[in-house]
Structure 1
Amino acid sequence: MYNTVTVEEVVSAIRRAIAAAQNHELRYYAITFTWSNIVIVPLVKGKSLDGTARRFSSILFSVDRGEDTFGQCNFVPVAIPSNAFSQLELSTWTYPRLLVGQKLTGLLFHLSLLVSHRREFEKLPELDEQGHELLQQYIQRLTTPMGEIFQAVLDTETEMLNYFKQLSPSEQENRPHLTTVVQGLAELQEQILPTADCSRDGRIQLTMNLPEVAEWANRLESIQQSVFSMYLFWVSDVLEEV
């Protein structure tokens, strides 16, 4: 696989560079006035994989609140406008099989955001009867999209596994990056299950209490980096194949 630098590592490098300058009010205004946003465009062999970037308010780099400075929502990818693509002379890899890996990472990230949002309900003060009823209605509205996204994750995993299975044994042996993806998918299937028994009669069951939701949210957050690494192995296999 190609040498990689994650977005998180780039963010840390930028923070260290800014922190090296003396911390005073003028620095704060110089950073926020000159660069209102700092944009990171991930590239593989000089091209974008999906035409997205990570955009950060420069204010986040001029203050330091420790690990709470950058939340998960700060790393949500945003589409790069076509005119900016042209100005920066960027191009995108367009191989169809890349879309499968992108779909998996996107779905898991979206699922993680939804579950993390639901976890925040633990912080609510004690509710009266009306408040509890409103909360249950809101939770129910979240349950349907969570179940749909979770099922889409499972379907995408199956699609990736089926691609590997259709190869001959000799082809499988000559695709080490793809083999690594298959191994990662086997581990992922265990890690992303909401509970030990989340399926009943072939249907996904996401009726969970708040402690179970919190535990699931923590697991989904903890595997984001390993999922991204697995995606890069998938990318490596695609680009080597073509």
Structure 2
Amino acid sequence: MTRLFHVSDVHFGREDREAIDWFGRKVKEEQPDAVVMTGDLTMRARAHEFTAAAKWLESLGRPVTVEVGNHDLPYFNLWARFFTPYKRYRALEHMIERPLDVKGVSVVPLKTTARFQWRLNWAKGYVSTRALQESLALVEAAPRDDLIFVAAHHPLVEAGTLATSMTRHGRQALEALATAGAHAVLTGHVHDPFDVAHEVNGRTMRLIGAGTLSERVRAKPPSFNEIRIDGASFETVARFKGEGSVAL
């Protein structure tokens, strides 16, 4: 069996120290095949937050791939947000959208953050035509028999959680990715775990969201997802700090 640990929204600067230490212990004890981090490593994209995040991820000792979340873009410095938004990510550069060498599984990145949007809340999701086309090309290039997981920060459509993503062009992206052959989209942002199936043109596409390891909890306590893969099938188990596990 192949196992992925899917973690999101650690928010260094507002991290739950006990929760991230708990996650680190579980990684060391159980040695998952890889860790997929779907964004919001930091609270305000400050240099010291990225340094702490990089140190933590490197300490896990497992293959890690990272997506960028909206909190990982500079918040107060508009010059940096527009012209050098990823400069402070250099400590993590080798992990961003890193291909994973996991037999039978392809993880494809999809960017859902934006430096600017024509609406007041720039924290919500946005899928550009360019970002979608880049992801579709990677889906189509994946080995024919692989399970294909798309990793993004924002849920492409709402999943019934307290927080929302309101991702623009998300439904179109979901349909295009499903048609191209993707099996699931792994996301974060809403701070509560979920696994919701959508039927798209006769195919089942799973939307899987990880919780948070920060102090900014919503309906559920700090958690991460364990994705258990057996051949062409997989299941999601939400693992909660101090409260056991729940199959989603």
Q: TM-score, normalised by structure 1?
A: 0.31
* Bigger share in helix: 1
**Higher Cα radius of gyration:** 1
* Bigger share in strand: 2
